[in-house]
Structures are given as C-alpha cells and as structure tokens.
Amino acid sequence: MKTDKISNEAQLDASGNLIHLLGLEGLSSEHINQILDTADSLLDEKGNLKKSKALDDMSVANLFFEPSTRTRNTFEIAAKRNRAKVINVDLDNSAIKKNEALLDTMLTLKAMQIDMFVIRHNQNGLPHHVAENVSGVSILNAGDGINAHPTQALLDVLTIRQIKKKFENLSVAIVGDIVHSRVAHSDIHALKTLGVKDIRLIAPAGLQHSPENCEIFNCFEDMDEGLKNVDVIMMLRLQKERMIAADIPNEQEYYKNYGLTNDRLKLASKDAIVMHPGPINRGVEIDSDVADGPQSVILKQVTNGIAIRMAVMQILAKNHRRQ
C-alpha cells in the first residue's frame, strides 16, 4: 500500500495505551474491540445515543483544512455529548492565512488549554507530524490525504458487527476508487485485524491497489464477478478532487461498469448490506434505489459515527489524564 511509510507509532504510549488516534495499522484487535464495545455501550437498544460526562473538564478543537459534513459535525456532536467544550477553529480567518506555521498555531491553541485536536488535512501524515511535535495533547486523525480515516473505518466495522455479529466468515467487497481512498485503506486494516478472510477489492485497473496487495486480497476488475455472494458491499466515492482525468474514461462509463444498481445487488447474498462513507455521487457509483433501499445502512453509519467518536474521545481522555 502506498501509505506504509507513515508511522502510527506515536499513537501508543510505552504501555500500549492509545494516546492519539492516527491510523488503524498497528492497533490490535483488543484496541479495536475496546473502541467498538465502548461505542456500543453508548447506544441504547433502539440505537439512540446516550450522553456522558466523560470529558466534562476538557476542551476539543476541530481543525478541518478540507471540507466535511459528516466527520466534522459528528465530532462536534460527539464532543458535546461527552460534555467537552468545543472550538471549531475558523481556519479561513486564522493566523495560518498570515503564514503562521501550523505547529505554532497548535502550540498557541494548546496554551489556550485545548486538550484534544481533531485534524483533517489533505497532506498524508500531517496529524502524525503534529502528534510527534506537540506534547501533552491528544490528536485525532479525521482524514489525512489518501492515507487514513480511522474513525470512518471504526464506524464501518461497528455497523457490520451490529448487523452480522461476527467477522470471520464474512465476504466483504470494497468497490471503487480504492487507490485514492483513505477510507478504503483504513477499512482494509480494520477488517483484516478483526479476522475477515475474504476481502475483495473491486476497481478498474487504474484505481486498483498495487499488485502486491492483490497477492494478499482478492482483486477484481469485473464487478459482477467480485460481488458474487458477498455479505457486505462497501461502496466508495469517486475521489474526483484527487484523481487525474485519465484515471477513468468518464462518469457514464464508470457507472456502467462499477455503479451499484439493484440488478448488481442481486449477485450478492440475499441479506447483504450496502455501505457508503458519503458523500454519495448518485448515478455515478451508486443508484438512488440502492442508496435509499432496504439493504442500505448508510444513515446508520452516520449515527454510529457519533458513538465511535464519543468512544475514542473517552478512551483518549482516560489515557491523557493518566499521563
């Protein structure tokens, strides 16, 4: 995978406790299950969110250098449901616009008694760089370039576990723009760590993983072939902002070959679930009938995003106080 060079080492302390969340590579199934179990404990039997006082004395700052609807708002809601104070840093009007170095901005915010920073950035490894250089705070990666989107993958596996109960015997297809997708990269680590043996990567050759990865996972260019009898279909957004025009011929052609329609969905298991991290390109990677249909769990993923982000914050807060 293109992203192997970025180290997540800084996210664990010497005793193996999670002190930042930078990526899922390097986390054990125990780490991941602790987050999933905590998230589940924050949902009642109807799937509604509970409230907590776990971050009563803490402040969380959101720094989103890229657009976001789901991740930014669910991080804010999660922090507030944990009783933290939340600051959405107005980056368009911040001193970064006057060329202040990012680390100086972070140190300045730390001096304002911020305990946790949620960072989204288009540069691979940016949250890791901050975690390595600013001590005494927790860093949560909300998506860095094409590298990782750990809380998205955690909410994805939480959703799968709630519906399918166990991971070992599942066949999971990840479909679309795999090469540019930080979601896919994190999902693959999560699914592998939790014991999924049949991970299928379905993409046109230009958007597929490296050949080495196709030695480990089951790679398909033919979507119909790859979808046969799968239990979970994880659709990906075409990352138009990260791809050069030559990667795919055009959106119509892409939809013809890789769009998830009701006809294609019939190739999967009868009770297969359909997932998508959002935002959806309707009629490009997924048909509206499928996105809004009975097998879609896309909106459940969004609600689970709050539980996962609350859980990660609670675990980091506990380990932060221990330091």
Q: What is the dihedral of CA 264, 269, 272, 277, to 10 degrees?
A: -50
CB atoms within 10 A of CB 141: 30
127 binds ligand CP (CB under 6 A): no
Between CA 166 and CA 195 the distance in angstroms is 9
- The residues in 54-93 that bind ligand CP, with binding defined as CB under 6 A, are 68-71
Shortest distance, CB of residue 237 to ligand CP, whole angstroms? Answer: 8
CB atoms within 10 A of CB 35: 25
Shortest distance, CB of residue 113 to ligand CP, whole angstroms? Answer: 27
Nearer Cβ to ligand CP (28/69): 69
278 binds ligand CP (CB under 6 A): yes
Nearer Cβ to ligand CP (138/152): 152
Nearer Cβ to ligand CP (68/105): 68
Q: 60 forms bridges with which residues in the sheet? A: 86, 116
Stretch that binds ligand CP, among 17-25, 103-111, 185-193, 273-281 (CB under 6 A): 273-281
Backbone angles phi, psi at 6, to 5 degrees: -80, 125
Instruction: Candidates 125, 265, 277, 304: give the one binding ligand CP (CB under 6 A).
Output: 277
Shortest distance, CB of residue 191 to ligand CP, whole angstroms? Answer: 17
299 binds ligand CP (CB under 6 A): no
Stretch that binds ligand CP, among 93-101, 127-135, 246-254, 276-284 (CB under 6 A): 276-284
Nearer Cβ to ligand CP (19/191): 191
Between CA 63 and CA 44 the distance in angstroms is 30
Q: How many residues bind ligand CP (CB under 6 A)?
A: 9
- The residues in 142-171 that bind ligand CP, with binding defined as CB under 6 A, are 143, 152
**Strands 273-275 and 232-235, sheet pairing:** parallel
Q: What is the DSSP string of 105-146?
A: HHHHHHHTT--EEEEEESSTTHHHHHHHHSTTSEEEEEEETT
How far, in Å, are 54, 62, 111, 114, 154 from residue 83 at the CA level?
Answer: 7, 15, 21, 14, 22
Nearer Cβ to ligand CP (184/201): 184
Distance of CA 258 to the CA centre of its chain: 22
Binding site for ligand CP (CB under 6 A): 68-71, 143, 152, 277-279
